[in-house]
A and B are shown apart, each in its own frame.
Chain A
């Protein structure tokens, strides 16, 4: 069993044993457990991740277990880098360089804002990618599951999440992207939102796009 714990977080010793037993039941070389099961007395799910090429579904007869299959192509993703950063693994996990683009980040925002406004204050599960990507581009650090939960729980409500995006995004984009790219990409996006401004989510995104473009115009 391999323990990845870069921040020396206190893990529950009983859970380590339980984790090892669960991983032994998974018929795959690369599998790991990440999340609150490892460090919280009260947890909702046991998140098991399996890196596999197989399309066959893996199931365990334990009600709280949630198994997520990760394709080898996903090893470059921010998601994999985050969930595997602090975890208990059956074997040494495969490492690949991170590949993440501003365009990926915008897709995450584009989907998270309507979801956030639909969910209102039951948003915690749906903003994980939004916060993960934003913190990565803001600080160059990949949050692990502990850090991500702490960051998400620090927001008092969904409005605070939206304020955070509004505040951080324009300078993040302008720090990473060339002005010509920003203009071309974001003017195009604005065009798609303009037709449906009767939705508050797209109104928010439309204004966000304009504040990004405003950042390069000075």
Chain B
């Protein structure tokens, strides 16, 4: 029998505070979006960059983006999955955090 370990990391400078602001409807929409990713209904962004991101190259990553807002503040989720692996990062943050992660991921 084959078994595979998986790693899922939740990341963000103010992740818990933002989660506390989510209404049930918004949270349900996010769950639904993640489900859609898992059944390949959401298209990823794949950069052609050979630059490093942690222990991988940027082009080995599939990045899925979900924008939403609460009041006047815009937030982004970046769901990052390593190709052919079960390592996943779930980033949630405001614009500043999003721009920082995008830069690290070598996105435009």
Contacts and interface: CB of A to CB of B under 8 A. Distances in A.
Nearest to A68: B95
B40 A110 contact: no
Contacts of B34: none
A195 B83 contact: yes
Contact of A199 (B40, B59, B65, B72): B40
Contacts of B59: 192
A199 B45 contact: no
A202 B40 contact: no
A193 B48 CA distance: 9
Interface in B25-64: 40, 42-48, 59, 62
Given A63-B72, A192-B59, A107 B43 contact: no
Contact of B48 (A108, A113, A188): A188
B19 interface: no
A114 interface: yes
B62 A111 contact: no
**Residue in A63, A198, A202 whose Cβ sees the most chain B Cβ within 10 Å:** A202
Contacts of A106: 48
Contact of B108 (A110, A189, A193, A201): A110
B48 A110 contact: yes
A129 B44 CA distance: 18
Nearest to A209: B48
Contacts of A192: 46, 48, 59
Contacts of B48: 106, 110, 188-189, 192
A110 B83 CA distance: 17
A104 B46 contact: no
B108 A196 contact: no
Nearest to A103: B48
B86 interface: no
B44 A196 contact: yes
Given A110-B108, A111-B108, A115-B65, A196 B83 contact: yes
A72 to B, nearest CB: 16
Given A63-B72, A188-B48, A189-B48, A199 B43 contact: yes
Nearest to B33: A118
B107 interface: yes
Given A107-B107, A110-B45, A111-B45, 14 more contacts: A104-B108, A110-B46, A110-B47, A115-B43, A115-B65, A129-B108, A189-B48, A192-B46, A192-B59, A196-B83, A199-B43, A201-B44, A202-B44, A202-B46
19 contacts: A63-B72, A107-B47, A107-B107, A107-B108, A110-B46, A110-B47, A110-B48, A114-B43, A114-B44, A115-B45, A129-B108, A196-B44, A196-B83, A198-B40, A199-B43, A199-B44, A201-B43, A201-B44, A202-B43
Interface of B: 40, 42-48, 59, 62, 65, 72, 83, 107-108
Nearest 4 Cβ contacts at the A-B interface: A107-B108, A114-B43, A201-B43, A189-B48
